[in-house]
Amino acid sequence: MPSSVERARRYLALARAVLRARRRAFDPFKLTWILTEQCSLRCRTCHLWVGEPHAGPSADVVERVLVANPQLTWLNLSGGDLVERPDAPALLESVARHGRDLALVDFPTAGQDTRATLAALQPLLGSDVPRVYVTVSLDGPDAVHDRLRGVPGAAERARATLAALARIRRPGFRAVAGMTLSKHNVPDARPDDLRALLPDAVPAGELHVNLAHHSSHYYRNTDDVAPPSETALALLDEVLAARPRGISPLTLVERRYAHLARRFLLEGRVPGRCGALRASVYLASDLTVYPCTIFDRPIGNLADVGYALRRIPELLPARAALAEVEARACPGCWSPCEAFPTLLAGLGRTL
Would you list the DSSP string of 44-59? SS--TTSS-------H
Residue 197 binds ligand SF4, judged by CB under 6 A? no
Smallest CA-to-CA distance from 128 within 32, 279, 15, 11 is with 11
Give Cα 72 distance to the centre of its chain: 16
The secondary structure of 289-309, three-state, reads: EECCCCCCCCCEEHHHHCCCH
Q: State which of residues 232, 294, 343, 345 lies at the interface with ligand SF4 (CB under 6 A).
A: 294
Please state the closest distance from residue 151 (CB atom) to ligand SF4, in A.
9
Segment lying near ligand SF4 (by CB under 6 A), choices 9-17, 62-70, 185-193, 292-300: 292-300
Residue 110 binds ligand SF4, judged by CB under 6 A? yes
Q: DSSP secondary-structure letter at 311?
A: G
Give the residue with the Cβ less far from ligand SF4, 41 or 202: 41
Q: Round to whole Å and give the CA distance between 11 and 9.
A: 6
Interface residues for ligand SF4 in 198-217 (CB under 6 A)?
A: none
Residue 31 binds ligand SF4, judged by CB under 6 A? no
Residue 295 binds ligand SF4, judged by CB under 6 A? yes
Residue 43 binds ligand SF4, judged by CB under 6 A? yes
Q: Print burial letters for 1-16: b (CB count within 10 Å at least 16), e (below 16).
A: ebeeeebebbeebbee
Give the residue with the Cβ less far from ligand SF4, 91 or 333: 333
Please state the closest distance from residue 96 (CB atom) to ligand SF4, in A.
24
Q: How many CB atoms lie within 10 A of CB 121?
A: 25
Q: DSSP secondary-structure letter at 279?
A: T
Give the residue with the Cβ less far from ligand SF4, 299 or 325: 325
Segment lying near ligand SF4 (by CB under 6 A), choices 36-44, 59-67, 128-136, 138-146: 36-44
Q: Round to whole Å and give the CA distance between 177 and 134.
A: 9
Residue 283 binds ligand SF4, judged by CB under 6 A? no
In the shown chain, the binding pattern of residues 71 to 90 toward ligand SF4, with x for contact by CB under 6 A and - for none, equals --------xxx---------
Give the residue with the Cβ less far from ligand SF4, 218 or 307: 218
* End-to-end alpha carbon distance in the chain: 37
Segment lying near ligand SF4 (by CB under 6 A), choices 113-121, 234-242, 311-319, 332-340: 332-340
Q: DSSP secondary-structure letter at 27?
A: -
The number of C-alpha atoms within 13 Å of 175 and in the hemisphere containing its C-beta is 25
Helix (H) or strand (E) holding 166: helix 154-166
Residue 18 binds ligand SF4, judged by CB under 6 A? no
Give the residue with the Cβ less far from ligand SF4, 52 or 193: 52
Q: Counting every residue, how long is the chain?
A: 351
Binding site for ligand SF4 (CB under 6 A): 39, 41, 43, 46, 48-49, 79-81, 110, 274, 276, 291-292, 294-295, 325, 330-333, 335, 338
